[in-house]
Amino acid sequence: MLATTHATGLQGFGWKMIASLILLLLFIGWHYFQAVRGREPFMKTRPGWGFFVKIFYFVAVAAIAACAVTSFGAVLFSGKLLGWALVFHMMGAGTFVFLLPILALMWGRSSRFGQAYRPGRQERFNGLAKLAFWIMLFAGVITIYSPLISMLPIFGTEGLEILLDIHRYSGLAVVLAAILHGYVVWLGRQGQA
């Protein structure tokens, strides 16, 4: 395990976490307002998700939420990720590790920039959803590997602290990107196109 005790509350990582979440929510509010007033040209996402696509998506969202609530709660309130919070964090983590490659295979092709999924077919995602998807994917890989390589007996205390910081910030990026992705997909399905 990495070092476990840190400053709690709105210090260090805590305030950056809260500030970035507030900024994202403000952006989403502004974007929604623009979309409702027809100022933001917004493509409707392609309907017709299959059963497995829905299941994988919702379980992945639940896994990210479990990791976020347990760890962000620890950052804000106790300063250490222990006990049941750590158990739920690791359950979410295992699910996330399993589902991230599936999401990559499922949506990588439809999330390419500047290329139609298939000629003549409506795109599944617009630019914002594609951007959020790639951030989620790349930050997700870093989030997964930072605790895993910290298990190798090659890092000193300082190295482990750096890896934990990398894990926290990349995890935060995954959460922000997942919220943005979820919002854009939801908006597209509301017909705010």
Tell the smallest beta-carbon distance from residue 119 to ligand HEM (Å). 35
Region of 48 (left: φ > 0; alpha: ψ -120 to 50; beta: rest) is: left
Q: How far is CA 139 from CA 17, 42, 58, 84, 123, in A?
A: 15, 26, 19, 25, 24
Compare residues 110 and 143 and give the one whose CB is closer to ligand HEM: 143
Q: Does 110 sit near ligand HEM (CB under 6 A)?
A: no
Question: Binding string to ligand HEM for residues 3 to 32, with x set by CB under 6 A, is what?
Answer: -x-x--------------------------
Rg (CA), the chain: 18
Q: Does 99 sit near ligand HEM (CB under 6 A)?
A: no
Q: How far is CA 2 from CA 9, 67, 94, 170, 190, in A?
A: 20, 16, 17, 16, 43
Q: Single out the residue of 60, 81, 129, 176 in contact with ligand HEM (rule: CB under 6 A).
A: 81
Compare residues 67 and 187 and give the one whose CB is closer to ligand HEM: 67
Are 27 and 177 in contact by the 8 Å Cβ rule? The answer is no
Compare residues 111 and 143 and give the one whose CB is closer to ligand HEM: 143
Positions 146 through 185 that interact with ligand HEM (CB under 6 A): 147-148, 164, 167-168, 171, 174-175
Provide the 10 A C-beta neighbour count for residue 139: 20
Q: Single out the residue of 123, 128, 143, 185 in contact with ligand HEM (rule: CB under 6 A).
A: 143
Q: Does 89 sit near ligand HEM (CB under 6 A)?
A: yes
